[in-house]
Amino acid sequence: MQGSTNFIIADNQYLTHIGMRSIVKNTIHGVHIKDSFSKKELVSLMQAEDRGVVIIDYTNMDFTGIDNFLILHKRFPDYCWVLCSAELSDDFVRRTGIEENIGVVFKDCESGEIVKALEAAAYGGRYLCQQAAAQISSEQGRKGIEDVLTPTEIEILKLVARGKSAKEIAAERVSSTHTIITHKKNIFRKLGVNNVYEATKYALRAGLLEMMEYYI
């Protein structure tokens, strides 16, 4: 999506709409801004346009949970999202922050970061504010993973998430390719994932690698 001019502000607070409208108009030229005060209104507005940008305070909208939000996100793949809330949980930021078209800022961020998020979304990208990036890469995500995987499996998952092939991992760990493939199968089974992409998303949510490592 390039140069989108269709913006939807989704928040149930009227003052937020006024403030965000002002920021959008001063940041992106030639925009068309629409307002949504509920999930139902948001879906209706998104159905009316093929693509655009949604600026949303998830905590102020009537979603039943993160999975409910992600279903809507997948339903409209040509929309870019800017999550703008006062506070979001570490798990929520990790699960949404690994999506290529979901940016995250907080309402107490400096204006420069909010502007960067809007500009990135307008051209099909996304921006993570410093606080969100820190939440995604924090060590808190490691809690519990040691109860699921062995230390060896955790190290192999890290390498898999960095894009290493079974042959490359075997060479690095001075092991056989067959052994590494067996480890990968066990890791996928234990995590309930089906492929490298899903395993990588799990590793990111668990804080096993930095976002920068993922995009290199």
153-162 pLDDT, tens digit per residue, is 999 999 998 8
**Which of 137, 167, 189 is a domain's end point?**
137
Residues recorded for the chain: 216
Verify that 23 and 100 share a domain, yes or no. Answer: yes
How high is the pLDDT of residue 69? 93
Which amino acid would we find at residue 18?
I
Verify that 72 and 21 share a domain, yes or no. Answer: yes
Q: Give tens-digit pLDDT for 177-212.
A: 999 999 999 998 888 788 888 888 888 877 776 654
Angle between helices 151-161 and 196-205 (to 10 degrees): 110
How high is the pLDDT of residue 216? 41
d(CA 176, CA 62): 51
**Which structural domain, as residue segments, surrounds residue 70?**
6-137
The H or E element containing residue 8 is strand 6-10
Which amino acid would we find at residue 167?
K
**Which of 137, 168, 193 is a domain's end point?**
137
In a domain, 190, yes or no: yes
In a domain, 53, yes or no: yes
Verify that 20 and 126 share a domain, yes or no. Answer: yes
d(CA 116, CA 12): 23
pTM, whole model, 2 decimals?
0.66
Verify that 53 and 103 share a domain, yes or no. Answer: yes
Verify that 85 and 152 share a domain, yes or no. Answer: no
Report residue 36: phi and psi, to 5°. Answer: -130, 130
Q: Give tens-digit pLDDT for 17-67.
A: 999 999 999 999 889 999 999 999 999 999 999 899 999 999 999 998 888
State the CATH number of the domain containing residue 171. Answer: 1.10.10.10
Name which of 124, 103, 102, 98 is nearest 114 in CA terms.
103
In a domain, 78, yes or no: yes
How many domains does the structure of the chain reveal? Answer: 2
Q: Give tens-digit pLDDT for 106-133.
A: 999 999 999 999 999 999 999 999 988 8
In a domain, 49, yes or no: yes
Residues forming beta bridges with residue 106, ordered by sequence position? 85
Q: Are the C-beta atoms of residues 132 and 93 closer than 8 Å to each other?
A: yes
Verify that 24 and 78 share a domain, yes or no. Answer: yes
What is the sign, positive or negative, of the torsion defined by CA atoms of 68, 70, 75, 80? Answer: positive
Verify that 122 and 145 share a domain, yes or no. Answer: no
Q: Which two tokens stand for residue 144?
A: 């519990």
d(CA 157, CA 163): 10
Verify that 27 and 45 share a domain, yes or no. Answer: yes
**Which of 71, 105, 137 is a domain's end point?**
137
Verify that 57 and 117 share a domain, yes or no. Answer: yes
State the CATH number of the domain containing residue 112. Answer: 3.40.50.2300
